Amino acid sequence: MFKVLRKKIYNQYVFELEIEAPLIAREAKAGQFCILIPKEKGERLPFTIADFDRKKGTITFIIQVVGKSTQMMYDEEYDFIPDILGPLGTPSKIEKKNNVLFLSGGLGIAASYPIMKAYKEMGSKIISVVGFRNKSLVFWEDKLKDISDEIIITTDDGSYGLKGNVVSVVDQIFKKYNIDKVYSIGSLKMMKASVDAIKKYGVEIIVSLNPIMVDGIGMCGACRVVLDGKIHYACIEGPDFDGYKVDLDDLILRSNQFAKEEGACLRDYLLNRGNRR
């Protein structure tokens, strides 16, 4: 049982959970995630560790409502999460770089933030571009301002910050800074557009992939992604991958295929198959 210390609602889709989990907080590194089982015999839900505090022994998740379980977690009051498995995944590779650019789309902030923190601790300059659909969806602005040397907020409809998306300011940033490394974390389409925009500068770009996951430990094969024509498993080898190597078109195609009910069916199928073994 893991005690929920704080639940904060940001808007009609997004909320934050701060959970007491000293052992996970002690081991957590930027780029990792946990699998939460929010209810006895409930679904296994992967969420990025958006922040952790080793001294307090806490981990934080930013969660967006997309289906049944996340809606239940948003609506209901609960003091404990029955099960949390983690930290899972390969930590982000943090290396000495002068200027690191983060292109984060909406919920992508949850994965970008701990990586920014790790680079900041290494002495890097953090340039953040954060995109939302509109002003009502903006969250963690102060937290991001505190950690960023420069921050640009964009909204699709221009209701806050610059009108446009995170990719629309890439050229402007590259004119101002010698960027050494880029992280693009958000929707698959946003990450694909980022890779296309960065390619001409020849700078390394890392994307963070969240394909459907079931076990989260490399056994079921649900989270496969294609890199340079070869299959890799996002739960153990990722979520971070080289943006130039990942076949993002394949992932976009598959995520459309399993949208809505089909996504849940795939998971049910894999879970049942697991139970029959």
Ligand X SMILES: Cc1cc2nc3c(=O)[nH]c(=O)nc-3n(C[C@H](O)[C@H](O)[C@H](O)COP(=O)(O)OP(=O)(O)OC[C@H]3O[C@@H](n4cnc5c(N)ncnc54)[C@H](O)[C@@H]3O)c2cc1C
Binding site for ligand FES (CB under 6 A): 213-216, 218-223, 233, 235
Residue type, 173: I
Instruction: Please report whether residue 33 would count as binding ligand X according to CB under 6 A.
Output: yes
Site string for ligand X, 230-249 (x = CB under 6 A): ---------x----------
CB of 159 to ligand FES, least distance (A): 37
Name residues contacting ligand X, limited to 205-224 (CB under 6 A): 210, 212-213
Residue 115 or 225 with smaller CB distance to ligand FES: 225
Which of 218, 252, 220 is closest to 234 using CA atoms? Answer: 218
Which of 39, 57, 56, 37 is closest to 47 using CA atoms? Answer: 37
Residue of 6, 68, 163, 200 that binds ligand X (CB under 6 A): 68
Residue of closest CB approach to ligand FES: 235
What is the C-alpha separation between 233 and 250, in angstroms, rounded? 14
Which of 241, 246, 239, 242 is closest to 31 using CA atoms? Answer: 239
Residue 90 or 159 with smaller CB distance to ligand FES: 90
Sign of the torsion angle spanned by Cα atoms 157, 148, 86, 191: positive
Residue 93 or 163 with smaller CB distance to ligand X: 93
Name residues contacting ligand X, limited to 142-201 (CB under 6 A): none
Residues whose CB falls within 8 Å of the CB of residue 108, separated by 6 or more in sequence, listed in order: 184, 185, 186, 187, 190, 208
What is the C-alpha separation between 249 and 260, in angstroms, rounded? 19
CB of 266 to ligand FES, least distance (A): 12
Which of 71, 52, 72, 68 is closest to 60 using CA atoms? Answer: 52
Residue 125 or 186 with smaller CB distance to ligand X: 186
190: tokens are 């946003």
Site string for ligand X, 37-66 (x = CB under 6 A): ------x-xxxx------------xxxx-x
Residue 38 or 161 with smaller CB distance to ligand FES: 38
What is the C-alpha separation between 37 and 263, in angstroms, rounded? 18
Residues that bind ligand X in the complex, under the rule CB under 6 A: 33, 43, 45-48, 61-64, 66-70, 107, 110, 210, 212-213, 239, 258-260, 263-264
